[in-house]
Amino acid sequence: MPLSRNFKETVKARAERDPEFRAALLGEAVEAFIAGEADVGKVLIRDYINATVGFENLGQAVKIDPKNLMRMFGPRGNPQLMNLSTVLRELERREGLRFRVEPERLRLVG
């Protein structure tokens, strides 16, 4: 069996039984986007969606074609800010979470 399939099954099984894991996975995706690591963010969001709500259900909830969502979070996808925020709001709602961004001062060394 390919490693990627086993990994997906493992993530899905853990997500089904562990709400803290789901919240952490979604939180890591959001942090990656904020840090400018869109490719990492897209992979994590895709893993989260596959392990939880699924693209079909999410597409119905946000009124975006599921195939467009899959492309958006695929390796060559480029989610528009409006679509990304719509998806994140729905995932927050489903998970009972609220993300917030707080500024952090950088310390100059030297």
The structural domains of the chain, with segments of one domain joined by +, span: 3-95
CB 1 within 8 A of CB 12: no
pLDDT of residue 14: 86
pTM assigned to the model: 0.83
d(CA 8, CA 39) in angstroms, rounded, equals: 18
pLDDT of residue 8: 79
Q: Which residue has the tokens 């562990």?
A: 18
Q: Which residue has the tokens 């986007």?
A: 33
For 6, the token pair is 């086993």
Range 62-81 average pLDDT: 95
pLDDT of 16 > 60? The answer is yes
For 10, the token pair is 């493992």
Per-residue confidence at 24, pLDDT binned at 50, 70, 90? very high
pLDDT of residue 73: 95
pLDDT of 4 > 60? The answer is no
